[in-house]
Amino acid sequence: MASDYQTKVGGYADAGATSLIKNVYTWMCMALAITGLVSFFTASSEVIMNFLFSSRFVFFGCLIVEFAVVAYLVSRVEKMSFSTAMFWFVLYSVLNGLTLSVIFIVYTATSIAGTFFISAGMFGAMSIFGYVTKKDLSSWGSILTMLLIGLVIALVVNIFLKSTTFNWIISIVGVIVFTLLTAYDTQKIKNILSGAEADEHSKKVALIGSLALYLDFINLFLYLLRLLGNRR
């Protein structure tokens, strides 16, 4: 009797975890679609583009607001309702779409589309690897964090150096880092949601997981675009 009960409870927990993991990818794809549509629409609107790039203050102001929104979401998600957390996630994907519209000015539409599909293939492969591998990837965390910090420092330094060679090195390292982060984050999300029930708390955890994978994909795409994109 007790064994039957435990089997049923385990089955419900497994079903809940599977549902949450599906939601992670559903919400990530939703956010990517919103970002892509907003970015394309913004780039197609002369009025919006003129406003967005009318001054550095406007564009960098959007970047600051964008950063503030994602920082607020991550730091306050435990105190929000799930619907409120979803609102902030959608808002962030919209703001990201506004600022990413600049790629349509810099790169050709063909190279953007081609790089997107390459990014999707790489992301999908690494996410599957992170999900099915038996190898513990937790040891990657500290290494990838240090590489991320180094990547940010290198980007800032190259603003002043303006070195093409250094830019290529940064882009290659960026692709490697976010490719590995995709596998690492996927396994981390899987482990956290393993055995979880589809309640309010677990949904918010899954939402933050989808945000992590969304950021991995966006950054992988941008670094690949720096390497493979054809400039106008």
Q: Give the mean pLDDT of 140-146.
A: 95
* Maximum Cα–Cα distance across the chain: 71
d(CA 24, CA 1): 35
Q: Is 70 left (phi over 0), alpha (psi -120 to 50) or beta?
A: alpha
List pLDDT tens digits, range 17-43. Answer: 889 999 999 999 999 999 999 999 999
Alpha-carbon gap, residue 185 to 127, rounded angstroms: 8
Enclosing H/E stretch for 48? helix 46-52
Percent of the chain's residues with pLDDT above 90: 81
Using alpha carbons only, what angle is made at residue 182 by residues 38 and 12, rounded to the nearest 5 degrees? Answer: 95
Contact 182, 131 (CB under 8 A): no
Residues 6+ apart with CB under 8 A from 75: none
Tokens of 46: 């002369």
0.95 cut: is pTM over it? Answer: no
Residue-wise pLDDT for 50-93, tens only, equals: 999 888 899 999 999 999 999 999 999 999 999 999 999 999 99
